[in-house]
Amino acid sequence: MNSRRKFLQQAAALSVGTALLSKSSWANSFAGPNLPAPGIQLFTLFNEMDIDTVDTLKKVAAAGYKNIESAFSKQGGFYGRKPKEFKALLHDMGMDWKSHHVLGTPFKMPANAKLPNGPDGKPVTIPVMKNLKDNSQELIDQVAEAGIPYIVCANINIETGDDIKIAAEVLQRAGEQAKKAGLQLAYHNHATEFDKTDGIISFDYFTSQVSADILKMELDLGWVFKAGKDPVAIFKKHKGRFPLLHVKDMTTAGEIVPFGEGAYDFKDTFKNVDIAGMKYFFLEQDFPKKPFENIVSAVQNFNKFKKSL
């Protein structure tokens, strides 16, 4: 009798376990992508980071951001700090430094463009900055000292076909140097990388001329949409080449706004981030009108959006 009772108990437990497993498997088959914690590109807070770095980062942490991508600073270095010092500052606030942006070639304002005004009402001044063309090893050594995984070329001169070819050579060399230093070089696009210049589309040229192990891509979704391209189609063409994404929303008029307040539909894109090979994503808004309010609304909107996937 005891043996029969034990057998029935075990059979019942097995039956329940199988049912739960089936239910779990069924649920997982409809689950959305497993996304990393929200990240932010600190260029969003370009002026604020230089005015008061510590207070600005406290507000970033309080808003709920966990992963950080840094940009250049008017203070030099990493917002006036050495690599390990800046990394420790972020760590103490519960955030992780994942990536850093550098220039590919000397800074040059686009035609008909002008710098935005700073807090004093005057156009911001851009100091001379080092770049991968002239200072690649120095920049790579600094990022390697920080112990973060990615160094990203934020932009590079692609005005002519010859410029595009030179840019590819710069990225090849810098990517090899980064690899030796234990880093991964990535390239961040704007809309112009999808234009044809002297018969060359620079995005296609870079991805064909520089191998994927040397150069990954940080796809800026806002600029991809602005260029009239489909991010998912790009993911499928270059599977696994996009460990980093920029999430930038825009209005139909082209104004960059907090995530969720623009015209772009990111749902299909985020349902396919596994094809992209995405490791981290960073919300970004260039020179927001209400920076601290905007970074809060952006991450709140994203968290709501994530539930719809």
Residue-level pLDDT at 13: 43
Give the pairing of strands 39-41 and 196-197: unpaired
Q: Which distant-in-sequence residues (6+ apart) come within 8 Å of 237 by Cβ?
A: none
Please answer whether residues 81 and 89 qualify as being in contact, where contact means their C-beta atoms are separated by less than 8 angstroms.
yes
- Give the chain's end-to-end CA distance (angstroms, integer): 52
Beta strands in the chain (DSSP E): 39-41, 67-70, 96-103, 150-155, 184-188, 196-197, 200-201, 215-220, 244-247, 249-250, 256-257, 280-283
Overall average pLDDT of the 125-143 stretch = 91
- Tell me which architecture the domain covering 42-306 has in CATH: Alpha-Beta Barrel (3.20)
The per-residue pLDDT for range 153-199, each reduced to its tens digit, is 999 999 999 999 999 999 999 999 999 999 999 999 999 999 999 99
Residue-level pLDDT at 115: 66
The per-residue pLDDT for range 24-74, each reduced to its tens digit, is 333 333 445 789 999 999 999 999 999 999 999 999 999 999 999 999 998
pLDDT-wise least confident of 120-124, 140-144, 152-156, 189-193:
120-124
Residue-level pLDDT at 90: 98
Domain boundaries, the chain: 42-306
